[in-house]
Amino acid sequence: QVQMVQSGAEVKKPGASVKVSCKASGYTFSAYYIYWVRQAPGQGLEWMGWINPNSGDTDYAQNFKGRVTMTRDTSIKTAHMELTSLTSDDTAVYYCAREKRTGGLRLLSLDFWGQGTLVTVSS
């Protein structure tokens, strides 16, 4: 069965960086885009960007350009999201999620999600 398992909670100081991992299993890793979505406490969902695990190509939300880097390691079926120059506004649960496909068609919806990684930024 498809699973997305994320790395554990992090506590960081302002100005630091955080790297969150997402290990996929149960499907062909390179065939499905992986998204990163975050959710601040009590707030809604915010798209950060995606990565094509096959090519490594990425697309980032404007709000995060220059601060976020998404990478993947196909040998261990793991995607990573690194966010730099953290502030208290970056305190949130960060999710990875797999984009749904049917045949060769991208459906731009998210059918499997990781459990979330809480990142707390505090001095």
Contact positions vs another protein (CB under 8 A):
35, 44-47, 49-50, 59-63, 95, 97, 100, 107-111, 113-116
Q: Which of 16, 99 has the CB closer to another protein? A: 99
Shortest Cβ distance from residue 1 to another protein (Å)? 11
DSSP state for residue 53 in the 8-state scheme: T
CA nearest to 40, candidates 115, 93, 83:
93
Shortest Cβ distance from residue 76 to another protein (Å)? 22
Q: Which of 43, 74 has the CB closer to another protein? A: 43
Instruction: List C-alpha distances in Å: 64 to 23, 38, 70, 114.
Output: 23, 12, 11, 21
Shortest Cβ distance from residue 13 to another protein (Å)? 26
Q: Environment class of residue 85 by beta-carbon count within 10 Å: exposed (0-12), middle (13-18) or buried (19+)?
A: exposed
Q: Which of 6, 78 has the CB closer to another protein? A: 6
Shortest Cβ distance from residue 65 to another protein (Å)? 10
Task: Pull the structure tokens for residue 35.
Answer: 């998204």
